[in-house]
């Protein structure tokens, strides 16, 4: 039974990051055929936006070293929005050659993480992203900008909100159509989220251009998401089965599980277009491919209610 809550959007776009942010932190690389099937199943479950992969050098993240193969294998079976992550101009050139229709760039709000993740300072990384965004837009590709470490950094501790806002505003100035605010190590709480959204709004970056990306390290992801929705955000990043983490931040645990998010939104009467049982079956299938259970609490509760998969589904 759904019971609406005043002040929430009628519809939320679930930005599925499992195939990229989820699989990049797994101990082993899955076959490209499994990744393609994962995307197909997520799309069939009603997810319109699925971030497919990353065009980083294979030596950086070997789990995603088959980006060109994946896009070729999916062909016209890609979802309505199928963004890919690009780290630099070379990555963008590869993505364009592979037929990518949308790209994302990944900036840091802190110097320590920028050095570990991008091998550059914050200023240097932003300067490097400017031509990437310009070239992508010239090629007709929408660009999303990620800001990581928005609320805490494992090396620097609490992150000043004006420091986060400065990076987000630069990405918006470059022409990023959407800015995703990431709680990379999952330490944020609703008051911090409210303060950051209010600050960005005062600086002219409204909720209509923002998305939120929460990790559930301290069990705060759903609370933070609800707060963001109450402040007008309508795009929420999530990962099927709660897959994910960050290979460059050891304290970053799994993403907000898409099943947990959709269960909450269904209960609030907020439309996502996602078929929750179909999504749950997909995440259980992926857990089988990875050989370990999913951390999603909603998935654990739903699993006994799902029909036994047929040989074709498994």
From 114, 126, 164, 246, active-site residue: 246
128: three-class secondary structure by DSSP:
helix
Q: Does residue 292 sit within a domain? A: yes
**Residues 142-174: tens digit of each pLDDT:** 999 999 999 999 999 999 999 999 999 999 999
Q: How many helices and strands (H and E) does the chain possess? A: 11, 10
Helix 89-97 to helix 67-74 angle, to the nearest 10 degrees?
30
Alpha carbon distance 231, 156 (integer Å):
28
Q: Does residue 161 sit within a domain? A: yes
- Report the chain's mean pLDDT, rounded to a whole number: 94
Q: For 75, which DSSP code?
A: G
CA 40 vs CA 22, 80, 149, 161, 280: distances in Å: 16, 12, 31, 38, 14
Q: How many domains does the chain have?
A: 1
For the cut 60, the answer to whether the pLDDT of residue 251 exceeds it is no
State the residue for tokens 């002040």: 7
Whole-structure pTM value: 0.95
Q: Kindly indicate the confidence band of residue 248, based on its pLDDT and cuts at 50, 70 and 90.
A: very low
Q: What CATH code is carried by the domain that includes residue 149? A: 3.20.20.70
Q: What integer is the mean pLDDT of 253-281?
A: 96
Q: Does residue 72 sit within a domain? A: yes
Q: Does residue 247 sit within a domain? A: yes
Q: Does residue 94 sit within a domain? A: yes
Q: 259 lies in which domain range?
A: 13-305
**Residues 65-94: tens digit of each pLDDT:** 999 999 999 999 999 999 999 999 999 999
Give yes or no: 246 in active site. Answer: yes
Element (H, E) at 200: helix 190-202
For the cut 90, the answer to whether the pLDDT of residue 26 exceeds it is no
Q: Does residue 208 sit within a domain? A: yes
């Amino acid at each position: 039974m759904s019971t609406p809550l005043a002040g929430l959007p009628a519809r939320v776009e679930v930005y599925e990051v499992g195939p990229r942010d989820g699989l990049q932190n797994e101990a082993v690389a899955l076959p490209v055929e499994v990744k393609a099937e994962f995307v197909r199943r997520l799309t069939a479950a009603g997810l319109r936006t699925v971030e497919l992969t990353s065009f980083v050098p294979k030596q950086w993240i070997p789990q995603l070293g088959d980006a060109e193969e994946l896009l070729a294998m999916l062909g016209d079976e890609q979802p309505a929005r199928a963004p890919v992550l690009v780290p630099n101009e070379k990555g963008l050139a590869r993505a364009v050659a592979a037929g990518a229709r949308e790209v994302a760039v990944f900036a840091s709000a802190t110097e320590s993480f920028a050095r570990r993740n991008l091998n550059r300072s914050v200023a240097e990384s932003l300067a490097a992203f400017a031509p990437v965004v310009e070239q992508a837009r010239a090629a007709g590709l929408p660009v999303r900008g990620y800001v990581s470490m928005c609320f805490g950094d494992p090396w620097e501790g609490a992150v000043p909100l004006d420091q986060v806002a400065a990076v987000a505003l630069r990405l918006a100035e470059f022409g990023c159509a959407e800015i995703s605010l990431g709680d990379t190590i999952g330490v944020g709480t609703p008051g911090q989220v409210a303060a950051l959204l209010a600050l960005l709004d005062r600086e002219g970056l409204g909720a209509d251009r923002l998305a939120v990306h929460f990790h559930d390290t301290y069990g705060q992801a759903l609370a933070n998401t609800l707060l963001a929705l109450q402040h007008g955000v309508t795009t929420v990043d999530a990962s099927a089965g709660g897959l994910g983490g960050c290979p460059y931040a050891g304290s970053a645990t799994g993403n907000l599980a898409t099943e947990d998010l959709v269960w909450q939104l269904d209960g609030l009467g907020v439309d996502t277009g996602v078929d929750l049982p179909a999504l749950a079956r997909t995440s259980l299938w992926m857990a089988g491919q990875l050989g370990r259970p999913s951390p999603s609490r909603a998935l654990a509760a739903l699993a006994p209610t799902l029909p036994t998969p047929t040989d074709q589904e498994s």
